[in-house]
Chain A
Amino acid sequence: GENVEQHPSTLSVQEGDSAVIKCTYSDSASNYFPWYKQELGKRPQLIIDIRSNVGEKKDQRIAVTLNKTAKHFSLHITETQPEDSAVYFCAAYGQNFVFGPGTRLSVLP
């Protein structure tokens, strides 16, 4: 079945810097790749997603890139703010949704 790896597991950046989180997947049939933000004690919230027919997608300070050949996709957050601090999960959908283990992002003021 699908396996999703995510790196790094923790990431600390200074406010205003950029943050990059990378995920790899194993199932070449996967075609939908969402990213979720989860604050402590809250539900996961979709922040951006990308489908396999697109290489990059951007929404204000957030962007996602997909490399189907290498089977990896990345989340880019620019001009980070303290409210970006949370756990971020990537996921891949082939036959079902498989989530990565998460990255704890801390934005230091």
Chain B
Amino acid sequence: EAGVAQSPRYKIIEKRQSVAFWCNPISGHATLYWYQQILGQGPKLLIQFQNNGVVDDSQLPKDRFSAERLKGVDSTLKIQPAKLEDSAVYLCASSLLNADTQYFGPGTRLTVL
């Protein structure tokens, strides 16, 4: 079974620039999560999708972050414009259902200069 795929693996941008991350979940997994993990901290949930609908986005900074999962499979997370404090690893995870075992992708390490 293929795991969760993410790209790019690394990204370096300057503040105020835009960036987008892509995630392909495990086939058949209805639930997809985006997390932000700042160095030395636990993952923080940004947004949770169930198929192509948003279940929770209460911690997503909506003035600069957006995410979509148009066909209920792949997802993209965008930051526009980026700030220095957005430097982190962005993890995508998927599970069969809500409150089920999550499988994480390798993450995208974002550095904002």
Give me the interface of A with B, judged by CB distance under 8 Å: 1, 6, 31-32, 34, 42-46, 49, 89, 91, 93, 95-102
Q: Can you name 24 A-B pairs with beta carbons within 8 Å?
A: A6-B42, A31-B99, A32-B100, A34-B102, A42-B106, A43-B91, A43-B104, A43-B106, A43-B107, A44-B43, A45-B104, A89-B43, A95-B56, A96-B45, A96-B55, A97-B48, A98-B45, A99-B44, A99-B45, A100-B42, A101-B41, A102-B40, A102-B41, A102-B42
CA gap between A80 and B100 in the complex, in Å? 28
A64 to B45, CA, bound (A): 23
Within 8 A of A (CB), among B50-84: 55-56, 58
- Residues of B with C-beta under 8 A to A101: 41-42
Flag whether B25 is at the interface (Cβ < 8 A). Answer: no
Q: Please, what's the 1-or-0 string for B12-30, where 1 marks a CB less than 8 Å from any CB in chain A?
A: 0000000000000000000
Chain A interface mostly helix, strand, loop or mixed? Answer: strand
Point out the residues of chain A lying under 8 angstroms from B104, CB to CB.
43-45
CA distance in complex: A98, B42 (Å)? 9
Query: Within 8 Å CB of B98, what residues of A?
Result: 93
User: In the assembled complex, which residues on chain A have CB atoms less than 8 Å from the CB atom of B40?
Assistant: 102
Sorted nearest first, the 10 A-B pairs with minimum C-beta distance are A99-B42, A43-B104, A96-B56, A32-B99, A93-B99, A99-B43, A89-B42, A44-B104, A101-B42, A102-B42
Excluding A44-B43, A46-B102, A101-B41, 11 further A-B contacts by CB distance (< 8 Å) are A32-B100, A42-B106, A43-B104, A45-B104, A89-B42, A96-B48, A96-B55, A97-B45, A99-B42, A99-B43, A101-B42
